[in-house]
Structure 1
Amino acid sequence: MSNKVIVVGGGLAGLSAAHTLLERGANVVLLDKQGCVHLFHPSNSTKATSGINGAGTATQNELGIPDSAKIFFEDTKRSARDLARDDLIKVLTGRSGDAVNWLQDKFGLDLSLVARLGGHSQPRTHRGGAQFPGMVITYAQMERLEDLAVSSPERVKIYKKARVSKLLYESGRVVGVEYERDGKKHQEHGAVILATGGYAADFTADSLLKKYRPELWDLPTTNGDHCTGDGQKLAMSIGAKGIDLEKVQVHPTGLVDPNEPEAKVKFLAAEALRGVGGLLLDNEGQRFADELGHRDYVTGRIWENGKYPIRLILNGQASKEIEWHCKHYVGRGLMKRFESGEALAKEMGLKPEVLKKTFDEYNAIAESKKDPFGKKFFPGGKFTLDDIFHVAIMTPVLHYTMGGLEINPQSQVLDTNGKPIPGLFAAGEVAGGVHGANRLGGSSLLGCVVFGRVSGDSASAYLLESIASQEKATGRLGAVAGHLLETRKPSEPATKEADSKSSEAKTESAPEPKGGEYTAEEVAKHNSKDDCWVIVDGQVLDVTDFLSEHPGGEKAILLYAGRDATEEFNMLHDPKVIPRYAPKAVIGKVKA
């Protein structure tokens, strides 16, 4: 048996598994269903906007937050309700602090801000000072793995646009995969880690969503079109057990684009917007729920109240605390800034006195800590008409599937008899049972990192056991075991030569301007889907051919077609993104 593990899925769970495998000395073949020529498709992980949970982290200790794995366990179990799997929750919460510390220590990430989201009794959702935390965390791992694929190709192979069509199952164990790429079928042999995500965008002919929750079929979704339950279907076809497949989470706050109110795919409003003090008001300007309640509770209250549109309202203090998110949403036309409560009341078709009454009542509730809806925490300061506000229209959206493949605490996929299927592991949203009936905000990224690392550990151990059984008779076990058990820093090349290559791979320079110079007026003429130019940091980019490949969707670029997109681009991307992934798009520079 070769010293190789196949990771199916290029999102955060798959990347965390890959880096852990490399730490343990195994080799990795990563198959990414999406992706383009130069870039991973970053999956739903990059869309996570609130942060990653962690209890007992270095950041919490520095801030004096008295959290622990035990408190986090109780919060998670309470949210999971009667479907709580204590064994999996212990892994999720018990390894949460180490997961956050690992991201900070090994990838140099800023996770210095901590917020309290709905259902949490302590502030434990970590994020940095800028950019979406899901994007920052995922891209850091993604770029490191891509560098390794260049510097150490004998250890890391990445195949993009590779759709796995079959698990190779022989003599009661998984021994590899069959996949399609460039119109041809290929095979890879080795243990398999599935990290393919959920099925909250499964509108296919054999849809798991329609089979288990047909009443939710018509709701909009926050998921990319790759979330079609591929891993669940592949594993169940060889006898794996599905669990809690009817548990589909509807998130209460999907952002409604005023220009496309019926769009099937919607952008998610970060739960952190409510975590910093945002209020939910109906069309009469009234509160109707505890804004920090569990997601299913808030969604249920929206439907029960039925007075649309529902608005999420942040005052000046809350807006300042989460300023980057507000700027991003305003830039996308999904949120509006109002300079006063009177202007907001006019937009809502209400008299200012109505809004003032709601604000005064809320301020009194926050001071007395006695809320008719049961709210216990009141961040964000007072609401007054004499303030600025950031406001967006909300709607419930399909968001997360708690159901999936049944796994044990070692991330082994179980069969219908409850026995592990040798050679098959699962991590992230493809695995069911981790979150029970309702997932807490901030635990999606956590589940990816924790169980990505667990699956990497378990697959490495399985690999060692398999090789040991085959090599025992030849006397080669010592060398093989030594290779697999040696500890390296995550994603670090094994030789000085490889290290040198890695350094070269990481050195990015701005692309040399090509073509001539273009005035802003000339760029403005190229403003359609078939002819799209944008300006970024004084460079002119022709992104027409890149629209369909853009991980954030073509709409995110078309909003700036023919315009200067520098501010929005720099909010979301590292400066080296263009030279690394799209150097050919640069066609010149802006004429002074």
Structure 2
Amino acid sequence: MKEEKGHQADRRKFLVGMGIAGAAATATLASPALAVAGNRCETKWDQEHEVVIIGSGFAGLAAAIQAKRLGAKSVVIFEKMAVFGGNSAVNGGLFAAPNTALQKKEGVKDSPERMAADQAKAGRGIANEEQLLHVAKRANEALQMTIDAGAEYFPYLQQLGGHSVPRTYQTTVAVGSGITQPLLNECKKLGVRLVNRTKFESLIFDDKGKVVGAKIREGYYFGRGKEGSPVNVRAARGVLIATGGFARNVGLRSAQDPTLTAEVGSTNPPNATGEGLLELFNVGAVPVHMAHIQTGPWASADEDGFGYVSNYSIYNFAHSISVFPKTGRRFMNEIADRKTRADAQLQCRDDNGNPLPPVTITSYEHAKQHPTMKKVLKYGVGWKFDTVEDLAKHHNIPVKALKQQIEEYNGYVKKGVDEQFGKPMAKAKDKYLKAPFVTVRNWPKVHYCQGGALTDVEARVIDSSTWKPIPGLYAAGEVAGGMHGVSRLGSCSIPDCMVMGMTAAENMMKS
């Protein structure tokens, strides 16, 4: 065996051409592979498994379950942190799928082609439509996997920004752990080996260029450096990299988009640092769409991370208005795609150019229908007002302009047509804005990295020197780039992760 990562000179030129700078370029140039490429060394295996999965989010868990159902006797998931689930456990728990039981019950006409078309539109012409359609066609199957495992969803659908019809389920706990925990329990029932505090360090190749294993550091404590013991883990059928994105790697993300400095918050946990992605680049993966980094327009500067305001806003935007405090007027379609809304919000500034977060206003009788409203109010990241005057005074909004805006908007609700910004009004039917009100302040946070390593529709990682799949190497979820293009529609990451994880497992089991 040999540990080789070849093509380094070509890859350095390629990374420069793709604009991968800062942390990514440094990692590539400093890689030990530069010194050992072409040298042979025997690998002593400490563990052997059929399927090796790095990362325990939606993609990794779905892959493990699918591999086991297809007959794999030995499947292992390695997780960097002390708890399983990764960023998936703290996401919004929103799952989009076409032709579902709830859509049929609510009389919603949908199709995989329509869902993929909605996403392609948000992708601004550069999304991978083949992959989008592949995921949409199997999204219902992935949804059923979560239900079979014990995930529970509200008995209604949501229509998120950019979706042409309601197709989004939400977990009853309003967070991704409502899916990851049932999937984790299913993995345990099936006999998947789950190992936490294990940091992925590098891939191991054989002398024919096939990935045959991974070097893992066991006993690793995040944030403490190189703690732990290295072990070599053999993968008889393949290795799946499902390590998520790099939203918390400020150096890497700001190298792609200089506006995303340390001053910009993130909805992701601190461990979303992208080491798995950098290792994929080190071994020759193609970087794709790295500069397309999405900010969540439903986040709030009044709390850290994803918080409570995010899910509250996602649910309520459809029947609420967002106003610019200086004018008391709406400035966007509240359920446009994420990029459109985030770009509009970032223009909301005071006379000195400082951020002036817009205020989202909802009637209390409608806001209370979402379970997070109580926590929004309890933790002081949202406010309840009995009158428009009190609301305007608190947020320093001109009251006359605000009253006029509310009156105009209620007219749109009555007509079923938003004459200001063209917001679809189906979910706002009969939901007039009236006192008492609940308000939150929204400001974008880095949420999702559309960029990553190029994969094909089979979840195989593509080699930058041959433009063919790297044998034995798969990637799924946010670590894989290019599917969503410029902007990812909300609630589409879970089906993406799960379907591509399942796809990777199926192809490994064919090998």
For the residues of structure 1 that align with 2:178 and 2:282, how far apart are their CA atoms?
Answer: 35
Residues 235-291 of structure 1: per-residue CA shift (max 9 Å, x gap)? 11111111111110122222122xx7xx68866612533444122111132110000
Aligned length: 442
Question: Deviation string for 1:342-362 (max 9, x for gaps)?
Answer: 321221234644332111011
* Partner-residue secondary structure (3-state), 1:6: strand
Residue 173 in structure 1 maps to residue 210 in structure 2: yes
d(CA) in 1 for partners of 2:88 and 2:56?
10
What is the CA–CA distance in structure 1 between the aligned matches of 2:398 and 2:344, rounded to whole Å?
A: 25
Which TM-score applies when normalising by structure 1?
Answer: 0.71
User: Structure 1's 65 and 316: CA in aligned 2 closer, same or farther, altered over 3 A?
Assistant: same
- Counterparts of 1:238-387 in structure 2, within 5 Å, are 238-257=283-302, 269-270=310-311, 272-283=314-325, 284-307=327-350, 308-322=356-370, 324-350=371-397, 352-368=399-415, 369-377=417-425, 379-380=427-428, 381-385=430-434, 387=435
Q: How does 1:400-549 map to 2 (within 5 A)?
A: 400-416=448-464, 417-462=466-511
Distance 1:306 1:193, change over 3 A: same
The Cα shift of 1:409 comes to 0.6
Instruction: Give the structure 2 partner of residue 59 of structure 1.
Output: 102
Matched ranges for 1:161-200 at <5 A: 161-170=197-206, 171-182=208-219, 183-190=228-235, 191-200=238-247
Please give the per-residue CA displacement for 1:517-576, whole angstroms capped at 9, x wherever unaligned. Answer: xxxxxxxxxxxxxxxxxxxxxxxxxxxxxxxxxxxxxxxxxxxxxxxxxxxxxxxxxxxx
Query: Does the aligned pair in 2 maintain the 1:279–1:314 contact within 8 Å?
Result: yes
- Of structures 1 and 2, the larger Rg is shown by 1
Alpha-carbon distance change, 67 to 383 in structure 1, aligned in 2, over 3 angstroms: same
1:9 to 50, 55, 70: 55
Evaluate the alpha carbon distance shift between residue 46 and residue 132 of structure 1 in structure 2; reply closer, same or farther with a 3 A threshold: farther
Which amino acid in 1 is paired with 2:267?
A: T
Tell me, what secondary structure is at the counterpart of 2:244? Answer: coil
Q: Supply the distance in 2 between the matched residues of 1:21 and 1:446 (Cα, whole angstroms).
A: 17
Instruction: Assess, with a 3 A threshold, how the Cα gap between structure 1 residues 57 and 46 changes in structure 2: closer, same or farther.
Output: same
Q: Distance in 1 between matches of 2:68 and 2:201?
A: 26
Amino acid across the alignment from 2:255 = K
Tell me by how many angstroms 1:15 deviates.
Answer: 0.8
What residue is the counterpart of 2:65 in the other structure? 19
Question: Partners in 2 of 1:116 and 1:265 — Cα distance?
Answer: 20
Structure 2 match to 1:562: none
C-alpha distance 101-62 of structure 1, shift in aligned 2 (>3 A): farther
Aligned residue among 255, 259, 274 for 1:211: 255
The SS at the match of 2:164 is coil
Residues 40-75 of structure 1: per-residue CA shift (max 9 Å, x gap): 2x3221233261000011221222211111111211
2-structure distance, mates of 1:23, 1:197: 24
SS at 2:299 equivalent: strand
Structure 1's 168 and 332: CA in aligned 2 closer, same or farther, altered over 3 A?
farther
Mean CA deviation greater in 307-316 or 222-231: 307-316
- The 8 Å contact of residues 58 and 101 in structure 1, kept in 2 or not, is answered as no
Match of 1:101 among 129, 140, 144: 144
> Matches of 1:4 and 1:331 in 2, distance apart?
49
Residue identity opposite 1:349 in structure 2: N
Task: Indicate the residue corresponding to 1:140 in structure 2.
Answer: 182
Please say if 1:34 is aligned against 2:81: yes
CA distances 1:456-497 after superposition (whole Å, capped 9, x unpaired): 2122222xxxxxxxxxxxxxxxxxxxxxxxxxxxxxxxxxxx
Counterparts of 1:61 and 1:421 in 2: how far apart (Å)? 42
Which residue identity lines up with residue 233 of structure 2 in the other structure?
E
Distance 1:145 1:331, change over 3 A: farther
Paired residue for 1:470? none
Cα distance in 2 for partners of 1:101, 1:158 equals: 23
Distance in 1 (CA, whole Å) between partners of 2:127 and 2:456 is 13
Report the Cα offset of residue 133 of structure 1.
4.3
Per-residue CA deviations over 1:292-311 (Å, capped at 9, x if unaligned) read 11111111112234352311
Deviates more, 1:207-216 or 1:432-441: 207-216
Residue 85 of structure 2 corresponds to residue 49 of structure 1:
no
Secondary structure in structure 2 of the residue aligned to 1:95: helix
CA distance in 1: counterparts of 2:309 and 2:389, whole angstroms: 27
Q: In the superposition, relative to structure 1, how do residues 330 and 456 fare at CA in structure 2: closer, same or farther (>3 Å)? A: farther
Q: What is the deviation of 1:425? A: 0.7
Give distance in 1, aligned partners of 2:431 and 2:456. Answer: 47
Given the alignment of the two structures, is residue 122 of structure 1 paired with residue 165 of structure 2, yes or no? yes
Q: Is the 8 A contact 1:232 1:242 kept in 2?
A: no
Gaps of 5+ in 2: 1-46, 220-227, 351-355
The answer to whether the 8 A contact 1:256-1:392 is kept is: no
Question: 2:10: which partner in 1?
Answer: none
Residues 405, 431 of structure 1: 8 Å contact kept: yes
Aligned partner of 2:51: which letter? Answer: V
Partner deviation per Cα, 1:155-180 (whole Å, 9 max, x = no partner): x2221110011111222111111011
Is the contact between residue 348 and residue 358 of structure 2 (CA under 8 Å) also seen in structure 1?
no
- 1:255–1:395 Cα contact (<8 Å) kept: yes
Do the aligned partners of 2:149 and 2:183 also contact (CA within 8 Å) in 1? no
Deviations 1:117-161 (A, max 9, x none): 111111001124x3114221111112332455xxx4xxx222111
1:222 to 267, 271, 279: 267
What's the secondary structure of 1:209's corresponding residue?
helix
- Counterpart of 1:326 in structure 2: which amino acid? M
Instruction: Give the counterpart letter for 1:193 in structure 2.
Output: L
CA distance in 2 between partners of 1:199 and 1:427 (Å):
14
**Cα distance in 1 for residues equivalent to 2:87 and 2:118:** 24
Q: Does the CA-based 8 Å contact 1:193-1:427 persist in structure 2?
A: yes
C-alpha separation between the residues in 2 aligned to 1:63 and 1:46? 29
For the aligned residue pairs, the C-alpha RMSD in angstroms reads: 2.2
